[in-house]
Structure 1
């Protein structure tokens, strides 16, 4: 496996880093202030965001995430990894480059499974950054880490589907630009095999019966303006042509969608950890306690060293997963994707926590990015499948490798 970066990727890294330093980092505070000035953070978008998106488009730093597609930048997962990492250094950056969840996952679904009409109506505006989308899968009444538990119903009535369900943690659902949801439900009265009972259906957010009940907070953060919505679907009628791929394909789409989404989260988490370590190293060289710089304290040096080791290990595993996705496909790379999905959030939490400790009380304030990045990293131990599910999958695959040896000894 060769993880060296091509000239094309190095050039994009330099361009992206320069953009981050000139436009993104200086405007993080501006974005927060503009959001705070609004009566409600879910009513409108900070103007600085649209300004920065326009600049990113003009510089060709746009839609870098779609591999093997006429719509993307022609980058492989391995080539995209270091670029996604740079974006992960700021929580506002991914949207600036139109590489933010859940839109990236939804765009990949539409690109892979959508009809020509679905692509024209929804994918193209998403690729232009004109609208946002959400993914309505998780439900409050069931353990949604097992997608076969989904209870939201799909009922066919002539040339329409009738949808009923209660969803939550629907990221992006509160954004005023969110125009479409990908709704996952189970066909009413189906006798199909367990993993072929679900479907995914495109639902315009202005369809009668779609109601955003409330916006949820994460450790006190509301994540406006996109946020995480609790949404009810009550007798929502959509035409049959709104289905993605076909009836009973929902579970298969979910598995295909979550693979790239998981690794993108991991790439961004590495960037968040890198920035935390960078800020930590600067901070400890500026601060004195007990007549010595913090950087001269043995415990602080140990934490810095452990953080560098943690980041490098996670990056290598992420690159291996990306390489395998490119060379043997997402299905064959599922063990590596599962491993990095466990590793990266836990690594980021450790590194950011050490940085918070070095910053003291300032580290838990909103004056720095550490607290929000920690909250985001902790969320990602649950999003796209909790650690326990991935560990169970890894263990099953590992046990399967050694079954022939067990039989030999019997």
Structure 2
């Protein structure tokens, strides 16, 4: 395993670091101020559009997509350090570079499984950053950690599919630029193979019968930059049969293909979030005094910073190993490592951000620092893309199987 950055990665890292310093960090406060003046909190601040234009001009665009025809053509190992950098400003940088979830996963699905007509209609404008999208799988009335539980019906009626069901925490759906949903439901609810009951269909947001009911909060945040997390009702919404992605019964397999890269992308960005927290911790420690000496001279603060550095270095190596395996033996061959980073990274980063909040005192839980919002995002990733316990169960079974 050689994790040294190649020439292309070094070039993109240098450009991206400069882009963050010159454009992204200075725009964080401006974005908050502009959003407060918007007619709708779900509209996109002008500074975000300016960031997107600049990122595209610099070639810092669609870096996540390994398909050279549609994206930057980077391997997972090349993309990992770049995603980490964008994770330092998770509200702005991923969107600015067109590398924000859920659009990334949706673009991967369309690039891999969509037909040419679907790619032209939906993938091309997503790649151009002209529209946003949402992925509708999670449901409020079932344990969606087991995707075979979903109850949304996709019933064929002649040349149309009729979709009926209720979804929630559908990321991006509140954004007025969200024009398309990828909806997972059951086309064969009584099928013998529970992993062949599901299919995925493309449902335009303006389809009659589709209602975005409300925005779901996450620890009190509405996550405007990602277009919120909506509850959505599909009440006999009709779409052409041609809107099916792949084949009937292929929805579960497509979901698994989508979630593998999504999980590692989240972990890459989480390391960037941890680095931002460590930086803020150190800046706070050298600038504040308590009980007659700088916080940087307090022994407990030394422990927090040292432990955070050790943890981040460990996590980064595990994520890079996972990226390398995905590149060399495929997602299936890296299954154990993907689950390992999904378990280890969010919980460790939550602890690091929590220590940074503690060091900032009241400021740490305020809107004056990004820490509270970073905490909410990191803590959510212990649930999103499969809760920790599901990954632990699967990983443990795989380990035990070696000895049976």
TM normalised by structure 1 equals: 0.97
Counterpart residue number, 1:284: 285
Give a deviation string over 1:326-382, Cα, whole Å, max 9, x none. 000001111100110111111110111111111111111010110100000011111
Q: What are the residue-to-residue correspondences of 1:177-256 with 2, within 5 Å?
A: 177-188=177-188, 190-224=190-224, 226-256=227-257
Counterpart residue number, 2:101: 101
Counterpart residue number, 1:340: 341
Q: What are the residue-to-residue correspondences of 1:4-403 with 2, within 5 Å?
A: 4-42=4-42, 44-90=43-89, 91-188=91-188, 190-224=190-224, 226-403=227-404
Give a deviation string over 1:24-58, Cα, whole Å, max 9, x none. 0011011111111124302x211111111000000
Give the superposition deviation at 1:189. Answer: 5.1
Give the superposition deviation at 1:69. Answer: 3.3
What is the rounded CA distance, in whole Å, between the counterparts of 1:192 and 1:178 in structure 2? Answer: 35
Alignment size in residue pairs = 402
What is the rounded CA distance, in whole Å, between the counterparts of 2:82 and 2:138 in structure 1? Answer: 29
Give the superposition deviation at 1:104. Answer: 0.2
Give the superposition deviation at 1:285. Answer: 0.8
| Corresponding residue SS for 2:108 | helix
RMSD: 0.9
Asked if the contact 1:63–1:127 (Cα under 8 Å) also holds between the matched residues in 2, the reply is: yes
Asked if the contact 2:270–2:349 (Cα under 8 Å) also holds between the matched residues in 1, the reply is: yes
What is the rounded CA distance, in whole Å, between the counterparts of 1:191 and 1:57 in structure 2? Answer: 46
Give a deviation string over 1:272-315, Cα, whole Å, max 9, x none. 00011011111101111111111111110011000001111111
Q: Stretches of 4+ moved more than 2 A in 1?
A: 188-192
Give a deviation string over 1:152-189, Cα, whole Å, max 9, x none. 00111111111101000000000000000000001255
What is the rounded CA distance, in whole Å, between the counterparts of 1:204 and 1:158 in structure 2? Answer: 19
| Corresponding residue SS for 2:195 | helix
What is the rounded CA distance, in whole Å, between the counterparts of 1:256 and 1:23 in structure 2? Answer: 34
Asked if the contact 1:203–1:238 (Cα under 8 Å) also holds between the matched residues in 2, the reply is: yes
Give a deviation string over 1:244-288, Cα, whole Å, max 9, x none. 110000000010000000000000000000011011111101111
Asked if the contact 1:338–1:390 (Cα under 8 Å) also holds between the matched residues in 2, the reply is: yes
| Corresponding residue SS for 1:381 | coil
Asked if the contact 2:188–2:198 (Cα under 8 Å) also holds between the matched residues in 1, the reply is: no
What is the rounded CA distance, in whole Å, between the counterparts of 1:36 and 1:66 in structure 2? Answer: 33
| Corresponding residue SS for 2:331 | coil
Asked if the contact 1:270–1:348 (Cα under 8 Å) also holds between the matched residues in 2, the reply is: yes
What is the rounded CA distance, in whole Å, between the counterparts of 1:188 and 1:400 in structure 2? Answer: 31
What is the rounded CA distance, in whole Å, between the counterparts of 1:260 and 1:238 in structure 2? Answer: 28
Segments of 5+ residues of structure 2 without an aligned counterpart are none
Give the superposition deviation at 1:243. Answer: 0.6
